[in-house]
Amino acid sequence: MKRKAPIGFLDSGAGGISVMLACRKLLPYENFILYGDSANAPYGEKSEEEIKRLALAAAEKLLEKNIKALVIACNTITTIAGELLYSRLNIPVIGTVPALKEGKKLLKGGQMLVMLTPASARSQTMRSIMQQYGADAKLLPCPGLMEFVERGEIEGERLNNKLKQLLSPYKGENIDVVVLACTHYPFLLNELRKHFDDNTIFIDGSSETLKTLIFELNKKNILCNSEIQGYTQFISSEDNNTVDIMKKLYILGGGDEKSIID
Ligand code: DGL
């Protein structure tokens, strides 16, 4: 019974879909439900107390769906409320960690730039990740950027102007790796590439999240054992328009439209 229960994905909005898409590739038979708390987004510009409170309440929404595991598909929630969720929930909880460890391996003498939310940048977790893997990494908080993805605005002049403004301190710098440490940003990759050299590599934390998710499901013996395509469901604390944007982003990212249920 438990094996067929859905896996919950939690984010402050539509960004979690980038993690869900990475997981979908290797877990086609699992049922996925994403809860996006868009009504309270952006989390990345809130206090730690507020983020913890909202994250617990949002996780509660997914627990009501009898999920068998929770993927925190959000770097901000992971860095600030990760420990709290790991200790409070009695199902496997898997975070999405800013990918500095992987980024470090790709350096070729240039810099590592980490794009993230202001709250993640200030967090203790981020400080300890930096100490371990990237003392020289440059943190670039990007207030106002996730909102473009929330609106489904993933290309165009307004976005490019925003990126130009955010990235101006790094213009002309030798950047080997850009770590996308907010799950909304992978949707902006096409436009982001225009602001860097062709050799710059972009990475995010989703493949590590996927590895840990499979490990945890295996360990608990709760990997789905049927070979029927799993369903994909989107729930938002905002209106139906937000759910429509989520569906579009999922399909645009290569997700199977036929798997989506209401
Ligand atoms: N998607 C979230 C992350 O990965 C943050 C967006 C927000 O600020 O709410 O950090």
- CATH number of residue 26's parent domain: 3.40.50.1860
Q: Would you state the pLDDT for residue 253?
A: 97
Asked about 74 being catalytic, the answer comes back as yes
Q: For residue 45, report the distance from its CA to the centre of ligand 1, in Å.
A: 9
Q: For residue 179, report the distance from its CA to the centre of ligand 1, in Å.
A: 14
Please state whether 178 falls in left (phi above 0), alpha (psi between -120 and 50) or beta: beta
Do 197 and 210 have their domain in common?
no
In-domain check, residue 2? no
Q: Would you state the pLDDT for residue 121?
A: 98
Do 162 and 233 have their domain in common?
no
> By residue range, what is the domain housing residue 177?
100-203
Atom of ligand 1 lying closest to residue 116 CA: 10
Residue 93 parent element (H or E):
strand 93-94
Atom of ligand 1 lying closest to residue 41 CA: 9
Sign of CA dihedral 105, 106, 110, 114: negative
Listed residue (209, 179, 210, 178) closest to 196, CA to CA: 178
Quote the number of domains for the chain: 2
Q: Would you state the pLDDT for residue 46?
A: 98
Top mutation candidate among 75, 139, 242 for ligand 1, by most atoms within 8 Å of CB: 75
Name the domain boundary from 162, 180, 203: 203
Asked about 142 being catalytic, the answer comes back as no
Q: Would you state the pLDDT for residue 240?
A: 86
In-domain check, residue 75? yes
Name the domain boundary from 186, 203, 220: 203
Which protein residues touch ligand 1 with a CB less than 6 Å away? 11-12, 15, 41-44, 74-76, 117, 120, 146, 182-184
Do 104 and 196 have their domain in common?
yes
Do 220 and 195 have their domain in common?
no
In-domain check, residue 1? no
In-domain check, residue 53? yes
Residue with tokens 């295996």: 218
Q: Would you state the pLDDT for residue 226?
A: 87
Among candidate residues 23, 74, 142, 224, the one labeled active-site is 74
In-domain check, residue 163? yes
Name the domain boundary from 156, 178, 203: 203
Do 189 and 211 have their domain in common?
no
Helix 124-133 vs helix 75-88: angle between axes, to the nearest 10 degrees?
Answer: 110
Give pLDDT < 70 ranges for the chain. Answer: 1
**Whole-angstrom distance, CA of residue 169 vs CA of residue 171:** 6
Q: For residue 98, report the distance from its CA to the centre of ligand 1, in Å.
A: 11
Q: Would you state the pLDDT for residue 112?
A: 97
Q: Would you state the pLDDT for residue 239?
A: 87
Q: Would you state the pLDDT for residue 92?
A: 98
CB 113 within 8 A of CB 138: yes
Do 144 and 233 have their domain in common?
no
Alpha-carbon distance values, 87 to 96, 152, 206 (Å): 16, 34, 22
Do 210 and 168 have their domain in common?
no
Do 242 and 163 have their domain in common?
no
Do 21 and 66 have their domain in common?
yes
Do 143 and 219 have their domain in common?
no
Do 14 and 141 have their domain in common?
no
Do 48 and 67 have their domain in common?
yes
Q: For residue 28, report the distance from its CA to the centre of ligand 1, in Å.
A: 25
Q: What is the model's pTM?
A: 0.97
